[in-house]
Amino acid sequence: MAEQKRDYYEVLGVEKSADEAALKKAYRALAKKYHPDMNPGDAEAEKKFKEASEAYAVLSDPEKRRQYDQFGHAAFEGGGGGGYGGFDFTGSDFTDIFGDLFGDLFGGGRRSSSANNGPMKGSNVRTSVRITFEEAVFGCEKEIDLTVKEECKTCKGSGAKPGTAPETCPKCGGKGQVVFTQQSFFGQIRNVQDCPDCRGKGKIIKEKCQDCRGTGYIPIKKKFAVDIPAGIDNGQCKRLSGQGEPGINGGPRGDVLVEVIVGRHPIFQRQDINIFSTVPVSFVVAALGGEIIIDTVDGKVIYEVKAGTQTDTRIRLKGKGVPSLRNRDVRGDHYVTLVVQVPDKLSHEAKELLAKFDAANDDSLNAAKRYAENKEKGHSDSKKKKKIF
């Protein structure tokens, strides 16, 4: 008994109202996932690939799709012919999809059939600069040394020896691209890639400039002034537009991307636009209240601590954080955790004063002694009661 075919829409995972773009997107994903070249020796994957190909061949053709929507699989029964499972793929166009698909499978990438030797923007250059915590908060200016390419003055960027000129590439005819074919289950698929001889430029240089060795550019060490904005964070980049690699065929230069590496601070920690730190508070100030000095990025500030402050109390210094990169008028806050410090060394006089202080309050120094005495007293009372009865 022949295996019953699944609904074509179900196979592709699309709704019946799906347009051509949705069909193509769904099929391309399935073809890439189950293609035999990606799953060698996997019979189940090959079966799913064939099933998806058959579904797409029908639904991508308006007339076949109309027949299928009206009569289902019965519309093509008895058609015989080639194809998978007796289905005839004649007239089905997979060139666009497989030109893209095989580029992904074999690393070539899909190219336009037109020449790609027009003006192209140059590559970006990446570097880094180290700054302090304070410089990240308030901004600064740094100078960096960077080696970049400049047009060769001898050949004026052509790469050819003076008195000669680049010639049209005979392999691609100056188009910068060559067409090759890839064998698939549907026959030969045409694809396009950069010409290996001229590397997509459409021109070859027979006599190279001795100064630049045919590249058309000379590496030069230059100094750049980098304006670091206030509020920049670790790992963020400052872009120097038009300072990168030269463009191709008259295209604009690329950019220089300067990654900012912010050094650690011994006191402050940063989270977004807020700053966090910990400040010690003496036992006396925590108990009686008083003023303390807090270090901030703006300098030292005096803060009034309330009487009875407990350790790990957090206070907020509004507007003492980091400026926002998005809005210069906005600045974060500084959150300070107060940690009550207990002195580890006391004079005899200080100890007596603390003992008197304790006795005047809850007499915590004798709490354990009182507990032991009460426990012993309770035990004695219990024995007396037993003798009476």
**pLDDT tens, N- to C-terminus, the chain (389 residues):** 456 788 999 999 999 999 988 998 899 889 888 887 777 778 888 888 889 988 998 898 888 898 888 888 887 765 443 444 445 554 455 555 555 555 554 444 444 444 455 678 888 999 999 999 999 999 999 999 999 998 899 998 888 999 898 898 998 888 888 887 766 555 566 677 888 888 777 888 888 999 998 888 899 999 999 999 999 999 999 999 999 988 877 789 999 999 999 999 999 999 999 999 999 999 999 999 999 999 999 999 999 999 999 999 999 999 999 999 988 899 999 999 999 998 888 899 988 888 888 888 888 888 888 888 888 777 666 666 655 54
The CATH class, in words, for 269-341 is: mainly beta
Pick one of 3.90.1520.10, 1.10.3720.10, 1.10.287.110, 3.30.420.40 as the CATH number of 8-93.
Answer: 1.10.287.110
| Helix or strand run (H / E) with residue 297 | none
354 neighbors 297 (Cβ within 8 angstroms): no
CA dihedral 200, 203, 209, 210 (to 10 degrees): 50
- What sign has the CA pseudo-torsion 129, 135, 137, 141? negative
Q: What angle do CA 256, 262, 268 make, to 5 degrees?
A: 155
In whole angstroms, what is the distance from residue 73 CA to residue 278 CA?
Answer: 74
125-166+205-262 placed in CATH 3.30.2020.10: no
Contact between 25 and 19 (Cβ < 8 Å): no
- Report whether 335 contacts 276 (CB < 8 A): yes
Q: Beta 140-151 vs 256-262: how paired, if at all?
A: unpaired
> What Rg, from alpha-carbon coordinates, does the chain have?
39
This prediction has a pTM of: 0.58
